[in-house]
């Protein structure tokens, strides 16, 4: 297994520029133009929210670890850069991705248990183990057997000790990392950039008594601090609290790409904006139309 992200298949083959990723998706849509026109889909982030909710519904009774869940989400996102979603049954892909991710993250689940939970959560027609087996083969093939995923959680654990995050701040940062899987960020930036973004937002925003749910307005307020980080390379920040000043000084002296951190923050702002308009029934109905047409 590749312990080093910089030598990993993730960095070499599954990290794109935003322009390259858009081009890949455009080519995929052009090759399936009739399907795309026949079955309009909701916002891609709404799809990701729906997929995450369904994976959570399936994984919670099985006590599957969060990292395996995250790996499954990355598999699904990679898979749909290579395969048009309207050519698939997304629920079957979700169940298979979770089954494969559990094996890769060394918390395997028996295929019959995965099948039974899928049937319980979604559809009584999930009654054939061979479907998951066939889908697993397809998934591995489309991912070119490049199944090791590096996550931001490890980087966050290292930074947590260095900057002495409180338990509440660490929980908020962890929540932000979980949310980034609902965006294209896992395909665009290195895990340590995501971890640093989550750390900054957790320290700047502060967990509230109402919980850890973030909102676009709150995250947007953190952009001013990030701008000051950029300025700190040439001048001292304007009277920040000591721990935040320590973080700003560390970033100013490091080789971390502040522009990338700002881009990650803006992507999260965009996610929280569209999250307010999310309607699960609309996404579920859109998927059901093309699945029913295929069947």
Backbone angles phi, psi at 211, to 5 degrees: 125, -165
Please, which pLDDT band fits residue 65 given cuts at 50, 70 and 90? very high
CA distances from 58 to 180, 201, 281 (A): 20, 30, 18
* CA-closest candidate to residue 263, choices 201, 186, 185, 172: 185
Q: Above 80 in pLDDT, residue 214? A: no
In this predicted structure, the answer to whether residue 95 has a pLDDT above a threshold of 70 is yes
* Domains of the chain with CATH codes: 5-149 (1.10.472.10), 153-275 (1.10.472)
Mean pLDDT of 222-238: 53
Q: Is 205 exposed, middle or buried (0-12, 13-18, 19+ CB in 10 A)?
A: buried
Q: Calculate mean pLDDT across residues 231-243.
A: 55
Per-residue pLDDT reduced to its tens digit, 36-56? 999 999 999 999 999 999 999
Contact of 64 with 101, CB cutoff 8 Å: no
In 3D space, the residue among 181, 224, 184 whose CA is nearest the CA of residue 201 turns out to be 224
The gap between the terminal CA atoms of the chain, to the nearest Å, is 39
Q: Which residues of 183-195 are buried (b: 16+ CB within 10 A; e: fewer)?
A: bbbbbbbbbbbbb
Residue 240: which pLDDT band, with cuts at 50, 70 and 90? low
The rounded distance, in Å, linking the Cα atoms of 161 and 139 is 37
Output the six-digit token pair for 224: 């001013």
* Average pLDDT taken over every residue of the chain: 86
Evaluate if residue 228 carries a pLDDT over 90: no
SS (H, E, C) 267-291: HHHHHHHHHCCCCHHHHHHHHHHHH
């Amino acid at each position: 297994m590749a312990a080093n992200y910089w030598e990993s298949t993730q960095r070499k083959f599954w990290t794109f520029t935003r322009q390259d990723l858009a081009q890949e998706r455009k080519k995929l849509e052009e090759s399936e133009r009739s399907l795309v026109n026949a079955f309009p889909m909701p916002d891609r982030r709404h799809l990701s929210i729906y997929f995450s909710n369904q994976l959570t519904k399936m994984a919670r009774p099985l006590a599957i670890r969060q990292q395996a869940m995250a790996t499954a989400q990355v598999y699904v996102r990679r898979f749909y850069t290579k395969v048009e979603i309207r050519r698939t049954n997304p629920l079957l892909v979700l169940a298979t991705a979770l089954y494969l991710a559990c094996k890769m993250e060394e918390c395997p689940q028996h295929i019959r248990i995965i099948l039974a939970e899928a049937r319980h959560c979604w559809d009584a027609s999930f009654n054939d183990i061979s479907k998951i087996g066939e889908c697993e083969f397809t998934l591995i093939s489309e991912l070119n057997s490049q199944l090791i995923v590096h996550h931001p959680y490890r980087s966050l654990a290292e930074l947590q000790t260095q900057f002495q995050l409180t338990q509440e701040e660490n929980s908020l940062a962890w929540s932000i990392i979980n949310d980034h899987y609902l965006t294209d960020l896992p395909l665009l930036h290195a895990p340590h950039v995501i971890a640093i973004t989550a750390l900054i937002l957790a320290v700047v925003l502060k967990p509230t008594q109402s919980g850890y749910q973030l909102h676009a307005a709150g995250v947007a307020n953190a952009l001013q601090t990030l701008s000051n980080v950029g300025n700190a390379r040439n001048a001292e920040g304007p009277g920040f609290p000591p721990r935040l000043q320590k973080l700003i000084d560390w970033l100013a002296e490091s080789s971390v790409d502040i522009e990338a951190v700002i881009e990650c923050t803006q992507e999260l702002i965009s996610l929280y904006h569209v999250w307010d308009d999310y309607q699960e029934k609309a996404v579920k109905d859109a998927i059901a139309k093309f699945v029913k047409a295929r069947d």
